[in-house]
Structures are given as C-alpha cells and as structure tokens.
A and B are shown apart, each in its own frame.
Chain A
Amino acid sequence: MMDQDTLEMLRSSLRHVLTQDSGGPLAGRLHELGWDEVVADDSSTALRTMFEVKGDTLSSADALGPRLAAVLAESTGDDRLASATVALASPFGPSRWDEGTDHLVIDAMTLSATSSATTVVVPVGAAPRLAIVVAHVGLTSTPLGGIDESFGAHRLTGDIEADAIEWIDDRLAATAWNDVVSHGRWLVACELVGIARHVIAAAAQYTGERVQYGRKIGTFQALQHRVASAHSMVIGAGHLAAEAGNAGDDWSALVAKAMAGQAAEFACTQAQQCYGAIGFTWEHEFHRYLRRTYMLDRLFGDWRSLEHEIGIRLQATGVVPHIGSL
C-alpha cells in the first residue's frame, strides 16, 4: 500500500507526464517515471490515481488504450496483443463479416490514431467475436472529433480479406472481452471521478470570488446546496471506483461506472449554475470538462443504461450482493 506522501508524489509526476505536449509517446514518458515498478507495487492504487489525474487535467494522452491491450493479452495469454490497439464499437458500425466477399468490413473506434504498422483487435457482433488484424495497409484511421475534439478518438475503417485475419477462440474471446469491458469501466469511472472533483472544487472556488448584490455568491444557500449535494455524490463515486479496483470483478466495475457517470454529470450541472453565463462561454474552461464527461460517460455504457443493467441483473438473480466487506 502507498502512503500519503508517495501518493502525492505520484500524483504530481503523473500530472506532469499526462499533460506534457512533447516528449514522445506516453509509454516512454511513463517508463522514465519508473511506472512499471509503481504498478507492480500496488497496481490498483497506481492505475486509479493515474486516471483520476487524467480526469482532473483533461489530459489527451491515450492511457486507456494500452491498458485494454494489456488486459486482452493477459486474458487470452497472447503476448502479441499487449502492444495491439483494441478497437471498440463505433456508432457508425458495426464491423461485420460480409458473406458475399468473404471480407471483414471494419467500422470501429479507437482511442487514439492507429498506424498501419499496428496490430488491431476488432470486436465483431453483439457478443463479439474478436478479429486480429496484423499491420494491414487496408486500415484507415481518421479523427473523430465529435463533442470532444481533444479526446483523441479515431474512426477505424477497412475492408479486410479473410486470410489476413486471425480469430481469437470464441470461448476465450467472450471471457477476454468481458475483462476488457470491466477494466475499461473501472478506469473510466476513475477518470470521471477526477473530472467531477475538479469541477466541484473549481465551482466552489468561483463562488468565493464572484460578487453580486454586494456579497460573494457562495454565501447564497441555493448555491451552497447545489455544490454540497454534488460533493457527497462524488465522494460515493470515489469509494466505488476505489473498491472496483481492489475487487477487480465485473459487478463492482459496473456499479462504479454507473455511479461515476451520474456523479460527474450531476457535478457539471450544479457547477454550470454556479458559473452563470460565463460558464456558458469558451472563455471559461468549464465546457471542456462537460464535453469530456459526456464522452467518457458513453464509453462502455452510459450511466442510465448501466443502472438499468444493474437492475436487470438483480431481478434475474434475486440476490442483492454486498460490494466490499468489513
């Protein structure tokens, strides 16, 4: 376990590494930081901290992609996949097998640009089969701006012939994809918690500066209550994200992501009202946090869908499990 001082130092280093514009790829910068040892020592705390800092700083670095690849490699026992790009379903897809041409028609999303020298894993279908495409010139990667230009998402398209594709064994693929989704949910939950904490702290500070009717607007109970209600919700989300990392199971990751998504959205709603009109402009940073919140909430399931899924699973089993023990 990391002590408070170590954790503080780690935060500060990560803040630097994640917000550096130059200095090469993230992996290299993390390596210089001694990241591998930190993760070996306490991976749950290290990764949670990294994604909280990423949320707090709105970093554009693709920290998630390599994590998904690492999990996929571990789950499948296929070391080649550790440096692969894991594609996710895109709203323009799905990627599909074309019976007529015997080609895989790929339309997916990646979390950063994909070069034609990379191995790509593409989910195909709802309970996805996983296709491995090794360094193929037929793949095209184009920026997907959308609501958050700085997020770095890319659309991956291509029309790939059958003999350039290797399929991961279906049973293995089902388990592995489940692991990828759970790991992704956990880390995105941490990032959303980082965003929400930032948004609340910034809003609380602003209400101590802005004066109307001759008083700081933070003295108005209406605004105090907005910020306080968001704060308690984010505290709850933080606990769930931390526990999901320690437990490492699907259920706690699902619940953590559901809570983090709504806590971040709720925090943004309350903060926006504190800022009034200035928060509605590009002169203020707020809109960037709002955009990132929406982007992340959508990844691996938006919070309303996830809460519905939680309810469906509870109804199906008739059991209401405890997350975390004494």
Chain B
Amino acid sequence: MTDPPTDALADALADASAHPLTEQLAAATFESASEYAAALERFLRTDERAGVYIGYRPPSLEDSSRHMAGLQALLFDTGWSRLGWPVRAGGLGGDPRFRAAMFETLWKLDIQIPEPFTTLEILVPVLLVFAPHLADELLPSLLRGDEGWAQAFSEPDAGSDLASLRTRLEPDGDGYRLTGQKVWSTYGHLAQRSVLLARSGGPGHKGLTMVLVDLDQTGVEVRPIRAEDGENHFSEIFLDDAWVPGDRIIGQLGGGWAVAMYMLQWERGAWGWLQQGRFHSRLQHALQLAPAEPSHAASLGHAYTLVAALRLHTRETVERLAREETLGPEVSIDKLLLIDAELATWNAIRDHVGPRFELDEELHWLRAEYLFSRAAPIYGGSQEIQRTLVAQRVLHMPRES
C-alpha cells in the first residue's frame, strides 16, 4: 500500500479546502489507506485552517483540549476523520486502517492527536457491537467532538482486580440508579457522559453491567486528579443515586464483563499503533533539540529498535482488527511491547536533550509527556497483569490450582 495518489484523485482533491468533502470523500475513493494518507497530508499542508495545529505545544491539558477540539471538528466537517468508521456512526465507511493512517499522518506533520480520538478508538467499536441503538443516536456528535465521553471502570478498591468493583446499579422505574465511586477516569472532568462498569448482581465478574451515564446531572460529582506530570489526566467520579435511563445499558444486563473484555482488544491494540507514531515523532523532535552526543547513541538506538518492533506488531493488530478477527489474550503482548518502547523512548529523549530537559521552561510540554510516560507500566492493566496473562493464556504455563 505505497502507491502515490492517482492524478485524477489529486485533481479531485486539489480544491479540498474549498468544499466539504463529505460527499466525494468516501472510503471507496481511495485504493489504499496510504493513498488516503498522502491526500490527507496534502490537505493539512495546504488548508489554512490546519496551520495552527502543526507544531502546537500545549501549555496544559485543558488548553490542549480546547485548542485541539477545533481540529477534531475540522477533520469531521471535511470528512477526513469520518473514514474508517461505519456510516451508521456518522462515518463514511472503510476499515480501521484509515484511522491508523490518519494518526500516522498527523504525527508525521507534528500535529498532536486530539485527546478524544484515543477514547473513540476504544468506545466506538464497543457501542457499535453492544448498543447499536445508542450508536445511531449518539456517535455522530461524539465523532465530531460536540461531546466527550470518558471510561469509568476502576474504583479505589478495584484496580487491577477489576471484577471486585462495588458501584451499585439498581432498577428504579423504567431505568436504573447508580451509587458508588469511580477513579482514574481519563479526561473525566472534560466529559459529558461516561461508559461505566457497575455491579447489578452478585459478586464476581458475572454480576457486572456496562452502562452509559450522563455526567451533567445531580447525583454525579466529578473531581479532577492532578497527575505526576502536573496535568489533570483523570478524575474521580462520585455517584449518588445517579439516573440511568433504561435504554442506556451497553450489552446485556449482567453481561458487562464480556463488553469490557471486547473493549480490551481495542484499548491494547489500536492504542499501541497510535503511540508508536507519537514515539517516532518525539524522537525525531528531540534530535533537533540538542547536538548529537555519541555516548547517547546506544540509548537512542535501543529506543528506536523497540519502537520499530512495536510499530510492526501493532500494524498486524490493526490489520487483524480490519479483518474483524476477534483478538484474544495475545493483545497483552501489544501492551508489553508498548511499555518497553515507551519507557525506552523517553529515557533516550531525556538522555539526548541533557540538562535543558530538567531546566528549560520552553520544554515544559516535553517534560510533561516524559513524566506521563512513567505510567506506561501501570495504566490499562499493569505490566504484571499483562505478563501473567501472556504466561497463562498465551504460553499456557500452569495456573495455581
């Protein structure tokens, strides 16, 4: 998939910035995802509305969220971000490789990925499969960024041991009431709704149900948590008899675990592809920040090698998702490769940049990303959990009886 765009296509896209592309820009227009990527690159380089996003360095997560919302809307209105999503969800058709190619192109041009895109990768596929009625109604405004959603699984006493969560979902009239406390909800304080895992039945993973709950209602309080990097990456969500309409169940009542497991293949798979693009881009940026120092070459080479391995592995995962294969416990390998690549990348960047890394005010954003990278072995299932899954479910090492 490396052919350049055809001349005819190039002509058709030449005045892309003048016309919304929603009609002419369909998955069928492109021979391949890389042809789409080349056309998108041309659009972003020539459309004056895109200029403010190239090389943008966010002073804070909230600022970034406001600023990048403009890009999310632009990409939706011009059709580019709608490729790779089904028509019913507000997309223009085509498989997930188009989304992967969009991320690749944004990183290539040194454009930050709007934060909600990472959430979309995880939540939209789940809604399409487990709650088609909600997908039709809500996904178009989610894709455009008119509203934001956050995932709420973990609780203060249920982190790695997710199945022990206690937030209660009780029937009430033609709906449900939620009571409990969630934590580590990414971008929770910037979201209007949350995909939330709650206990509707007895103990263990069989008593769990996934719901979509509105966060802007009485009975819900969202408090941001300041993370190691100084930014409000996640939130606590306090639920006190919060209302959930009857049609907001995702999957079956009591079937929440299956939904969460389905979600993992997207969370661990597609996320890895998106991140390898970031690592390539950040390594390249770091090279411009300081003169070459031979003593740091090995650190740089090590990082690059691990990032290249991550790229090829997650490319395969994206291709498998595009073929609609169901991914099993092997998606934990994506996360393990991601952890190694992420830590090595930021170690190499810190090595290369030298003392400016700690002291230069201009590099606040780079330090923030570095500090956030220290969460790689913790978030989304810790390194220990992933290793245990790979050992037991992939390599079939014995389990304690």
8 Å CB contact of B395 from A231, A239, A243? A231
Q: Does A221 touch B at the CB level, under 8 Å?
A: yes
Distance in Å: Cβ of B169 to nearest Cβ of chain A: 33
Could you list 24 examples of A-B contacts with CB < 8 Å? Answer: A204-B396, A218-B397, A219-B399, A219-B400, A225-B384, A225-B387, A225-B388, A227-B391, A228-B386, A228-B389, A232-B390, A240-B308, A262-B305, A307-B298, A311-B296, A311-B301, A315-B287, A318-B287, A318-B288, A322-B311, A323-B312, A326-B1, A326-B32, A326-B318
Give the residue among A219, A262, A320 with the most B Cβ atoms within 10 A.
A320
Are the CB atoms of A312 and B297 closer together than 8 Å?
Answer: yes
User: Contacts of A207 on B, CB cut-off 8 Å?
Assistant: 397-398
How many angstroms from the CA of A323 to the CA of B294 in the assembled complex?
23
Are the CB atoms of A239 and B309 closer together than 8 Å?
Answer: yes
Are the CB atoms of B284 and A236 closer together than 8 Å?
Answer: no
User: Contacts of A306 on B, CB cut-off 8 Å?
Assistant: 301
Are the CB atoms of A310 and B304 closer together than 8 Å?
Answer: yes
8 Å CB contact of A232 from B32, B316, B337? B337
How many angstroms from the CA of A225 to the CA of B385 in the assembled complex?
9
Interface residues of A in 294-323 (CB under 8 A from B): 304, 306-312, 314-316, 318-320, 322-323
Give the residue among B293, B294, B297, B336 with the most A Cβ atoms within 10 A.
B297
8 Å CB contact of A314 from B293, B300, B398? B300
Give chain B's interface residue range (CB within 8 Å of chain A).
35 or more
A contact set with B: CB distance below 8 Å: 200, 204, 207-208, 215-216, 218-219, 221, 223-225, 227-229, 231-233, 235-237, 239-240, 242-243, 255, 258-259, 262, 304, 306-312, 314-316, 318-320, 322-326
How many angstroms from the CA of A215 to the CA of B397 in the assembled complex?
13
Q: Does B292 touch A at the CB level, under 8 Å?
A: yes
Interface residues of B in 33-49 (CB under 8 A from A): 33-34, 37
Are the CB atoms of B287 and A320 closer together than 8 Å?
Answer: yes
How many angstroms from the CA of A229 to the CA of B339 in the assembled complex?
11
How many angstroms from the CA of A310 to the CA of B300 in the assembled complex?
8
Q: Does B97 touch A at the CB level, under 8 Å?
A: yes
B contact set with A: CB distance below 8 Å: 1-2, 32-34, 37, 97, 100-101, 104, 280-281, 283-284, 287-288, 292-294, 296-302, 304-306, 308-313, 315-316, 318, 333, 336-337, 340, 384, 386-392, 394-401
8 Å CB contact of B311 from A216, A307, A324? A324
Are the CB atoms of B301 and A314 closer together than 8 Å?
Answer: yes
Are the CB atoms of A324 and B305 closer together than 8 Å?
Answer: no
Are the CB atoms of B304 and A311 closer together than 8 Å?
Answer: yes
Distance in Å: Cβ of A15 to nearest Cβ of chain B: 22
Are the CB atoms of A314 and B309 closer together than 8 Å?
Answer: no
Are the CB atoms of B384 and A326 closer together than 8 Å?
Answer: no
How many angstroms from the CA of A204 to the CA of B104 in the assembled complex?
37
User: Contacts of A204 on B, CB cut-off 8 Å?
Assistant: 391, 395-397
Are the CB atoms of B395 and A308 closer together than 8 Å?
Answer: no
Interface of B is mostly: helix
Give the residue name and chain of the A residue nearest to B394 (CB).
A231
User: Contacts of B101 on A, CB cut-off 8 Å?
Assistant: 326
How many angstroms from the CA of A306 to the CA of B337 in the assembled complex?
20
Give the residue name and chain of the B residue nearest to A223 (CB).
B397
The answer to whether residues A307 and B308 also contact, given A207-B398, A229-B387, A315-B292 and a CB cut-off of 8 A, is no
User: Contacts of A258 on B, CB cut-off 8 Å?
Assistant: 301, 305
How many angstroms from the CA of A243 to the CA of B312 in the assembled complex?
8
For the complex of A and B, the 9 pairs showing the least CB-CB separation, nearest first, are A236-B309, A311-B297, A310-B301, A224-B391, A311-B301, A315-B292, A307-B301, A239-B312, A311-B300
The answer to whether residues A308 and B301 also contact, given A207-B397, A235-B337, A320-B287 and a CB cut-off of 8 A, is yes
User: Contacts of B308 on A, CB cut-off 8 Å?
Assistant: 240, 255, 259, 323
8 Å CB contact of B299 from A243, A262, A311? A311
User: Contacts of A309 on B, CB cut-off 8 Å?
Assistant: 297, 301
Give the residue name and chain of the B residue nearest to A209 (CB).
B398
How many angstroms from the CA of A225 to the CA of B293 in the assembled complex?
35
How many angstroms from the CA of A119 to the CA of B388 in the assembled complex?
54
Give the residue name and chain of the A residue nearest to B322 (CB).
A326
User: Contacts of A255 on B, CB cut-off 8 Å?
Assistant: 304-305, 308
How many angstroms from the CA of A82 to the CA of B75 in the assembled complex?
55
Give the residue among A219, A236, A240, A308 with the most B Cβ atoms within 10 A.
A236
User: Contacts of A325 on B, CB cut-off 8 Å?
Assistant: 1-2, 34
8 Å CB contact of B315 from A215, A218, A324? A324
Are the CB atoms of B306 and A236 closer together than 8 Å?
Answer: yes
User: Contacts of B390 on A, CB cut-off 8 Å?
Assistant: 228, 231-232
The answer to whether residues A235 and B292 also contact, given A225-B384, A326-B318 and a CB cut-off of 8 A, is no
How many angstroms from the CA of A259 to the CA of B304 in the assembled complex?
10
User: Contacts of B318 on A, CB cut-off 8 Å?
Assistant: 326
Distance in Å: Cβ of B38 to nearest Cβ of chain A: 11
User: Contacts of A237 on B, CB cut-off 8 Å?
Assistant: 309
Distance in Å: Cβ of A88 to nearest Cβ of chain B: 23
Give the residue name and chain of the A residue nearest to B282 (CB).
A320
Are the CB atoms of A318 and B305 closer together than 8 Å?
Answer: no
How many angstroms from the CA of A13 to the CA of B401 in the assembled complex?
40
Are the CB atoms of A312 and B387 closer together than 8 Å?
Answer: no
Distance in Å: Cβ of B311 to nearest Cβ of chain A: 6
Are the CB atoms of A215 and B336 closer together than 8 Å?
Answer: no
User: Contacts of A319 on B, CB cut-off 8 Å?
Assistant: 284, 287
Are the CB atoms of A240 and B2 closer together than 8 Å?
Answer: no
Give the residue name and chain of the A residue nearest to B312 (CB).
A239
User: Contacts of B333 on A, CB cut-off 8 Å?
Assistant: 231-232, 235
How many angstroms from the CA of A237 to the CA of B97 in the assembled complex?
23
How many angstroms from the CA of A304 to the CA of B299 in the assembled complex?
10
Give the residue among B288, B294, B390 with the most A Cβ atoms within 10 A.
B390
Are the CB atoms of B397 and A227 closer together than 8 Å?
Answer: yes
Distance in Å: Cβ of A152 to nearest Cβ of chain B: 29
Are the CB atoms of B294 and A312 closer together than 8 Å?
Answer: yes
User: Contacts of B97 on A, CB cut-off 8 Å?
Assistant: 326
User: Contacts of A315 on B, CB cut-off 8 Å?
Assistant: 287, 292-294, 297, 300
The answer to whether residues A236 and B310 also contact, given A258-B301, A320-B304 and a CB cut-off of 8 A, is yes
Distance in Å: Cβ of A256 to nearest Cβ of chain B: 9
How many angstroms from the CA of A320 to the CA of B306 in the assembled complex?
13
8 Å CB contact of B304 from A227, A236, A314? A314
